[in-house]
Amino acid sequence: MLSRRQKHILIKFFGLFSVVRGYNILVVVIAQYLASVYIFAPSKTIKSVLFDPNLLMLVLASSATIAAGYIINNFYDSEKDLINKPTKTMLDRLVSQNTKLSFYFVLNFSALVFASYVSFKAVVFFVLYIFAIWFYSHRLKKQPMIGNIVSAILTVTPFFAIFIYYQNFELVVFAHAIFLFLLVSMRELTKDLENIKGDLALNYRTVPVVYGVKISKIMLTIVALFTSATAIALILFFKIGQMYYFFYLSIFLLVVFMVILWKSNTKTHYLILHNILKFIIVAGVFSILLIDISIVLNRI
């Protein structure tokens, strides 16, 4: 049996895990390694990629920065989240604001320590990344359009760090990046629709608040069409192995997304749409393995 103190520590741990969204960070870590093996460094052996200390430090720096970003975002959005996500917010509030801010600074410092192992340029990169996340949470998040675009850019930035490290400038890398960027942009706008109640109450100038739900749906439809077009381009013009199955599935789900979108008028509907996009993103991470199934046998 756990003592009262142990239970208290365990509850606080889960509260902090909820704040930093550890499950999202785990997906990013897996995605960074799979992208490194199959997309960024396809000519290297799996062993040399997985046991590359520089890559490990970049992944750790990214994870620490992302976790810190969730903390500062949670700090600024605590009132809005209490309206939009009351259950999660109550769990998050098991950790005091002072503790959250302490972890915020520790995580950012740790990220710079990890980056310093790689190079001074990596340190500069993560200093700018940390500042950009803070500036987004503090200033840009409440701005329509700009906030959505910046959020999407910040989400794909950890992959940009790996891209710079391997310096792989093949067109297929950019095609994958565009597909991910468009998906994340759709997710951000869908979240705005999902959280419109809290945004209206606290005067967040999001796209649905400023321009209306109908305009938001039109924008989402346009971005969904561009995302589908990118998926078709990846299928037709690039060597992606069996990953074309994933892109066909993505196109189908995006069509379903658009159909549901125009019938949506409640938070539950928008939550379903959000989950469709999350499924596509997570499925995309693991479908990277389909680029070359034999690679595991041939490149170990």
244 lies in the same domain as 160: no
Contact between 179 and 230 (Cβ < 8 Å): yes
Provide the domain count of the chain: 2
| CA separation for the pair 237, 175 (Å, rounded) | 10
Expressed as residue numbers, the domain containing 282 is: 178-300
Listed as ranges, residues in the chain with pLDDT below 70 are: 1-9, 11-15, 17, 81-82, 86-94, 293-300
Residue 2 lies in a domain: no
Which of 169, 187, 205 represents a domain boundary (last residue)?
A: 169
In this structure, what are the phi and psi dihedrals at residue 190, rounded to the nearest 5 degrees? -65, -40
Spatial separation of the C-alpha atoms in residues 66 and 105, rounded to whole Å = 12
In this structure, are residues 150 and 136 in contact, taking their beta carbons and an 8 Å threshold?
A: yes
Q: Same domain, yes or no, for 289 and 156? A: no
Contact 149, 184 (CB under 8 A): no
Distance CA 167, CA 52 (A): 15
Long-range pairs of 133-137 with CB within 8 A, sequence gap ≥ 24: 133/65, 133/68, 133/69, 133/72, 133/73, 134/72, 137/69, 137/72, 137/73, 137/75, 137/76, 137/77
Last residue of a domain, one of 120, 135, 169: 169
Q: Does residue 165 sit in the same domain as residue 211? A: no
Same domain for 226 and 287? yes
pTM summary value: 0.88
Q: Which of 61, 98, 73 is nearest to 20 (CA)?
A: 73
CA distance 281 to 97: 31
pLDDT at residue 93 in the model: 66
- Whether residues 19 and 154 share a domain: the answer is yes
List pLDDT tens digits, range 105-159: 999 999 999 999 999 999 999 999 999 999 998 888 878 888 889 999 999 999 9
Q: Is 158 a member of any domain? A: yes
In a domain, 42, yes or no: yes
Task: Indicate whether 59 and 161 sit together in one domain.
Answer: yes
* CATH of residue 161: 1.10.357.140
Environment class of residue 280 by beta-carbon count within 10 Å: exposed (0-12), middle (13-18) or buried (19+)? buried
Report pLDDT for 229: 97
Instruction: Answer yes or no: do 210 and 155 share one domain.
Output: no
Considering the domain architecture, whether residues 100 and 59 belong to the same structural domain is answered as yes
